Amino acid sequence: MDKQEAKNRIEKLRQEINRYRYAYHVLDKSLISDAALDSLKKELFDLEARYPEFITPYSPTQRVAGKPLKNFKKVRREVPMLSFNDAFSEQDMRDWVTRVENYLGGKISINQFYQHKSALFYCELKIDGLAVEFIYENGVFVQGSTRGDGIVGEDITQNLKTIEAIPLKILESKEVEKNVKNLGLNPKSYILNSNRLIVRGEVFILIT
């Protein structure tokens, strides 16, 4: 195998591994056995060891390229990262809807909220984990941080890279457009290609 063939094979392996991971972590589909996936990872690792000039920050092998850090540097975020307020009664929820309505200039009707058949809000069970912010630049994961006090958090990028459910590189816009269409949605209603993407969520350990 010459250098160009190795480069092509490395890129192909990355695409395949990421496709299998996406199917497993996002679509809840197992397209390949664990042993077969491990075999692909080993082949990629060996090829990158022989041709280190082809290693990229978003390669699947870079999840274990270094050890999680024990000490973290401070990160000041562009937009404050706030926490949710608790609601203990139906009236608390009604008051919250009123605040949302007032903030949006009355575009949401409380009666519509309680009586309309179509869902106006997405609800899920509360996940009690670690609130984090992910920053992607040109599709590549470049920084992850804790919420901290909302303005200043701690850089835990290296630690987050060890979590396989977190993509080191997000899908290309064409792939996203195809997935959006498969969901029955209009791709033109979404920004599918962003030079800088900030995602906020919760990191937690699932006990089964």
Which residue in 1, 135, 3, 10 sits closest to 60, CA to CA? 10
Q: Catalytic annotation on 126?
A: yes
Task: Kindly name the residue from 67, 117, 126, 188 that is annotated as catalytic.
Answer: 126
Q: Judge contact between 29 and 23, C-beta under 8 A.
A: yes
The angle, 0 to 180 degrees and rounded to 10, between the axes of the packed helices 34-50 and 3-25 is: 150
Query: Which two structure tokens, joined as six digits, stand for 107?
Result: 């575009």
Both structure tokens of 142: 């470049």
Neighbours of 149 (CB within 10 A): 9
Catalytic residue ranges:
126
